[in-house]
Amino acid sequence: MNIIQQQLNGFSVLYIKEERIDAHNSNDLKQYIVERIEAGEINLVVQLQEVKFVDSSGLGALLAGYKHAAAKSGKLALSNMQRQVLSMFELTRLNRVFEIYTDLDDAFTNES
């Protein structure tokens, strides 16, 4: 799983550099997020601009990250989601769980 991490405006931003999140790489994603949180980066934004496809295990990995951050009194939000990917969140009602932002500026403005 290719991920670039950057500290911005007090958030740990994870840029997912993959077109696909499925059962082949979702566990890596989950582990990566959990490790960041365990390292003290409890406020995260996952930037999904390049992700064209996510399956149920990918949603599960993000949900695991969200729960882990919440358990540490932090927050995991999502940004730059493509339309079809967003429709998966709508189908599973996970758009009611996650804060989903148009872009990083939108995320920083609303989360600060």
Partner 1 sequence: METTEIQVDVIIPTQTKYLDLIGSIGERIARELDNYSGDREALAYHLNLVLTEATTNAIKHSSHKDMKDTVRITLRILEDELNIKVYDHGQGFDLESVPMPDFDNPKEDGMGIYFIRTLMDSVTYSKKDETNVLEIKKYLK
Query: Is 109 in a helix, a strand, or coil?
Result: helix
Least Cβ distance, residue 82 to partner 1 (angstroms): 10
- Taking the least distance from each CB to partner 1, the nearer of 5 and 87 is 87
Q: How far apart are alpha carbons 12 and 24 in whole angstroms? A: 24
The minimum distance between CB 70 and partner 1, in angstroms, equals: 12
Strands 43-47 and 75-79, bridge-based pairing: parallel
Nearer to partner 1, 14 or 104 (CB): 14
37 with 65: CB under 8 angstroms?
yes
Taking the least distance from each CB to partner 1, the nearer of 32 and 53 is 53
Judged by the rule CB under 8 A, the positions of this chain that interact with partner 1 are 20, 22-24, 53, 55-57, 59-61, 63-64, 84, 87-88, 91-94, 96-97
Classify each residue of 55-91 as buried b or exposed e, where b means 16 or more C-beta atoms within 10 Å of its C-beta.
eebbbbbbbbbbebbeeeebbbbbbbbeeebeebbee
Q: How far apart are CA 35 and CA 49, in angstroms?
A: 22
Nearer to partner 1, 87 or 102 (CB): 87
What's the closest the beta carbon of residue 108 comes to partner 1, in angstroms?
26
Task: Tell me the closest approach of the beta carbon of residue 12 to partner 1, in angstroms.
Answer: 21
